[in-house]
Chains A and B, each alone.
Chain A
């Protein structure tokens, strides 16, 4: 059997993983577009989404849709709190200091989760149907289709937010031209505050969609967050479409690499790709609004 025969199935599995990375990457980008902050607590929002839904579903006994909705709301509030308690007091500090602060918030959130919900991993039931569908020899779970759908819908709603609403435009303006934004009467702190809410909500939605496929535990946020960040940088730091493309490329390449090399090196592939692309195209695949392209 040649490696080529596995390609379709591997590609599909890669696209599913890629969509997940993309969802997390989108969260990074949303905050970066509004405030230039790299929020390393993004992975924790994903973890919290799954964790809180699990608690509301199994611990409190709410119906699934209600539990999921409530979890998203709670995570949005946590996102706001992260901004109020961590980012806002440091608003005059430089970006690297904020980055370390969000890293601290991330460690705080994950350890608090361990205390509150315990350290054993937890899984959610699938939304609908456990049986895989067979399409032209490829096995597909309904849940991975949901993940793809969610990614698509979130991308569209983000596009509408940033291109069709004043708030979205103001959010973007406060990052691309801080002085201009100030002069136009945009409150940059308010925009960063809103961005944290939006990105926490997206993280939570991602967490709820992917937990039925994998599982979640208090330290699951770190790896997911890192891969999402790589996806966002790979596609072009600061672009929604870049995060989506970067995520899909990362997931697919990771998955396809298994056909040709032993699976032990799967995780290394992501970093090799990142280094290669950043060496030859530092602004990412689609280019980044934050990196002056004339310099490269």
Chain B
């Protein structure tokens, strides 16, 4: 009787066992390249990091279906750091000590990045950061960490172009009190003044957690009227963006608003509603996949990616998923190029030799001294119109 029960168990488990075994058997024994992913899958960024994870998994599966990298499949080892510094550092150390893992992607949040970058430097493992880079960290010129996103310099240059094209002569900057926004404001002032634009950086700031910016704007309103500024630069990211726009219109301030690339997400329009109409900014090409030029080399990549996201997850591409897409493809490209032997050092050198790699956020070129791959030509001008992102073009400025 007992024996029969055993058999029944075994038979019922057999299909399960074969399912588990199937993928590895089809790879003819070539060891997978393991990529550690250290993300804030729980906590305030959960929804954003979910997009990153989805896009990375989708692209990994696609690369593997196409035969992997020289026959080696890619494998993502995903760990949640729960928006917690200690766990992020622990994940990073764990990945670094695991000899099979050749590169770590993430985390997202500024101070978590700072820690993992330091660990990456010590343990000599490549650390790829998806979120916009922190200028202070970038200044350290770390050899093992990489920025995928457009940095503050590039975004500021693009925005100065927007002002020149629109003929704005005076711009008031209202920035958030965190390093990235501060640096965006400073670069905007520097590049703007080179082009003869008068840039007033407001002494009033706001915190990323502020839910009402009315008091600050009441104080800024007379300055805007007295100085007759042509545009107002909402130099911020996340929910404060739409809040600033709403509060501005509530106070009856009608001057044009320009903004950062962080406004290029649909939830921003949902939050701001009508107040977002007419806001202009420069953002990555995945914001407007179908409005790119016919001869744009990135257009087929972006549209293809957007369609795949649509069929897999029923949401189109955005800037975050675009960056995740580019991370996976950049890595597979670099892995392919370190043919001799894939080691952590070889991978880093191969990444540093990336020249003119076409992703969907732009054309990446890295070098040993430059770990920011993108330039201002990888951004497009966007205007919010009718609750949608509309690409705008200016002759001479693209």
Interface residues, chain A, with chain B CB atoms under 8 Å away:
1, 5-6, 9-10, 13-14, 17, 114, 118-123, 125, 130, 132, 134, 139, 141, 213-215, 217, 219-220, 223, 254-255, 258-259, 262-264, 266-267
Contacts and interface: CB of A to CB of B under 8 A. Distances in A.
B242 interface: yes
30 contacts: A1-B222, A1-B226, A6-B219, A9-B251, A14-B215, A17-B212, A114-B42, A121-B239, A121-B267, A122-B271, A123-B270, A130-B273, A132-B250, A132-B252, A215-B211, A215-B242, A215-B271, A217-B44, A220-B211, A223-B211, A254-B215, A258-B204, A258-B216, A262-B203, A262-B205, A263-B205, A263-B206, A263-B219, A264-B205, A266-B215
B196 to A, nearest CB: 27
Contacts of A220: 211
Contact of A13 (B48, B207, B214, B238): B214
A14 B214 CA distance: 9
Given A118-B47, A263-B206, A215 B243 contact: yes
Contacts of A223: 209, 211
A208 to B, nearest CB: 16
A119 B211 contact: no
A32 to B, nearest CB: 25
A258 B270 contact: no
A13 B218 contact: yes
A267 B271 CA distance: 23
Contacts of B251: 9, 132, 139
Interface string B254-287: 0000000000000100111111000000000000
Given A114-B46, A120-B47, A264-B177, A139 B252 contact: yes
B216 to A, nearest CB: 5
B219 A258 contact: yes
Given A215-B239, A263-B219, A264-B205, 16 more contacts: A13-B214, A14-B215, A17-B212, A114-B42, A114-B46, A119-B46, A120-B47, A121-B238, A122-B270, A122-B271, A123-B270, A132-B251, A139-B251, A220-B211, A223-B211, A263-B205
A132 B249 contact: yes
A14 B218 CA distance: 12
Interface residues of B, number: 38
A220 B242 CA distance: 16
A239 B5 CA distance: 69
Contact of A263 (B45, B209, B216, B275): B216
Task: Find the residue from A118, A219, A258 having the highest chain B CB count within 10 A.
Answer: A258
A295 B69 CA distance: 78
Given A120-B267, A215-B211, A258-B219, A139 B242 contact: no
A93 to B, nearest CB: 30
Interface string B220-255: 001000100000000000110011000001111000
Interface of B: 42-48, 177, 203-207, 209, 211-212, 214-216, 218-219, 222, 226, 238-239, 242-243, 249-252, 267, 270-275
Contacts of A118: 46-47
A162 B211 CA distance: 33
A5 B222 contact: yes
Task: Find the residue from B204, B212, B274 having the highest chain A CB count within 10 A.
Answer: B212
B270 A9 contact: no
B281 to A, nearest CB: 19
B205 A125 contact: no
A10 B222 CA distance: 13
B83 to A, nearest CB: 10
A259 B214 CA distance: 12
The 9 A-B pairs at the shortest CB distance, nearest first, are namely A258-B215, A119-B46, A214-B211, A13-B214, A119-B47, A123-B271, A263-B216, A1-B222, A121-B239
Contacts of A134: 252
B289 to A, nearest CB: 21
B16 to A, nearest CB: 28
B219 A119 contact: no
A219 B226 contact: no
Contact of B250 (A114, A122, A139): A139
Nearest to A6: B218
Contacts of A123: 242, 270-273
B44 A263 contact: no
Contacts of B42: 114
A38 B11 CA distance: 58
Task: Find the residue from A215, A255, A258 having the highest chain B CB count within 10 A.
Answer: A215
Contacts of B218: 6, 9-10, 13, 258
